[in-house]
C-alpha cells in the first residue's frame, strides 16, 4: 500500500473542527485525566459514546484497566484545563475543583456537559484503542463551547 505522509494527514484531519473534552477516570482510586478531541456519540439506545486513546499514552494502561470513564466537555473559559490535561504535569488535579460521579470518576466544575460512562466494549484501531462506553448519567449547562480547529484552540 502507498505510504501516506503522516504529518500532512494529521494537518488535513485537523481541518475537521471538534469540541474539546477532558476524559477522566481513576487508577487505584486516584484521579486521572487527559485532553481528548476524538470524542463522539455512537448510539441512543443503548446510550453509547466513544473516544480514542493513543496506545503510547502514559495513562493508557490505567484507562484500559478502569471500569469506565467520564467525559467532560470544556466550555470556552476552560482553556487552562485543555492545556493542563494535555501536559505531563504530575498532579493534573491540583488547584482544580472537581467531584466524583456516581461511578467514581472526576467531574470538572463548570464543564459545558458531562457523561458518566461504564466500559461497554473496547476495540483496537491501529495505533489507538477505541473505547466505547455506556452512558449511565449526564448533564449540561448553558455555556459556550471550547473548539479545536486547524491546530488552534478557541
Ligand atoms: C486538543 C487536543 C486533543 C487531544 N486529543 C487526544 C485524543 O483524542 N487521544 C489521545 O490519545 N490524545 C489526545 N491528545 C493528547 C493528550 O491530551 C496528551 O498526550 C496527554 O498528555 C495524555 O495524558 P497522559 O500523559 O496523562 O497519558 C489531545 C491533545 C490536545 C491538546
36 within a domain of the structure (yes/no): yes
Q: Please tell me the pTM assigned to this model.
A: 0.97
1 within a domain of the structure (yes/no): no
- Taking CB atoms and a 6 Å cutoff, what residues make up the pocket around ligand 1? 20, 34-38, 51-54, 57-59, 86, 88, 148
What does the pLDDT look like over 73-132, one tens digit per residue?
999 999 999 999 999 999 999 999 999 999 999 999 999 999 999 999 999 999 999 999
64 within a domain of the structure (yes/no): yes
Residue 78, domain CATH: 2.30.110.10
124 within a domain of the structure (yes/no): yes
Q: How far is the CA of 36 from the centre of ligand 1 (A)?
A: 5
Read off the pLDDT of each residue in 19-45 and give the average, rounded to a whole number. Answer: 98
Our count of domains for the chain comes to 1
Q: How far is the CA of 38 from the centre of ligand 1 (A)?
A: 9
Nearest atom, ligand 1, residue 38 CA:
8
Q: How far is the CA of 43 from the centre of ligand 1 (A)?
A: 24
11 within a domain of the structure (yes/no): no
118 within a domain of the structure (yes/no): yes
- Distance of alpha carbon 4 from the chain centroid: 27
- What are 154's strand-pairing partners? none
Backbone phi and psi for residue 120, each to the nearest 5 degrees, phi listed first: -105, -55
* pLDDT bucket at 2, cuts 50 / 70 / 90: confident
Backbone phi and psi for residue 8, each to the nearest 5 degrees, phi listed first: -70, -35
- What are 18's strand-pairing partners? 148
* pLDDT bucket at 58, cuts 50 / 70 / 90: very high
Domain that holds residue 46: 20-153
- What are 121's strand-pairing partners? 132
Asked whether 109 and 57 are in contact (CB, 8 A), the reply is no
128 Cβ partners below 8 Å, 6+ apart? 38, 52, 53, 54, 55
All 3 cell numbers of residue 65? 484497566
Mutation pick for ligand 1 pocket among 37, 63, 64, 106 (CB with most ligand atoms within 8 Å): 37
Q: How far is the CA of 23 from the centre of ligand 1 (A)?
A: 9
Amino acid at each position: 500500500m502507498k505510504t501516506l505522509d503522516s504529518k500532512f494527514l494529521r494537518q488535513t484531519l485537523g481541518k475537521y473542527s471538534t469540541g474539546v473534552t477532558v476524559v477522566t477516570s481513576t487508577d487505584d482510586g486516584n484521579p486521572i485525566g487527559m485532553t481528548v478531541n476524538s470524542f463522539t456519540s455512537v448510539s441512543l439506545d443503548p446510550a453509547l459514546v466513544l473516544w480514542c486513546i493513543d496506545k503510547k499514552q502514559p495513562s493508557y494502561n490505567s484507562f484500559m484497566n478502569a471500569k469506565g470513564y467520564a467525559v467532560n466537555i470544556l466550555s470556552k473559559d476552560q482553556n487552562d484545563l485543555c492545556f493542563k490535561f494535555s501536559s505531563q504535569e504530575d498532579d493534573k488535579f491540583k488547584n482544580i475543583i472537581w467531584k466524583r460521579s456516581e461511578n467514581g470518576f472526576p467531574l470538572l466544575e463548570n464543564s459545558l456537559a458531562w457523561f458518566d460512562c461504564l466500559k461497554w466494549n473496547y476495540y483496537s484501531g491501529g495505533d489507538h484503542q477505541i473505547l466505547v462506553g455506556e452512558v449511565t448519567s449526564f448533564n449540561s449547562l448553558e455555556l459556550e463551547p471550547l473548539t479545536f480547529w486547524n491546530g488552534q484552540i478557541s
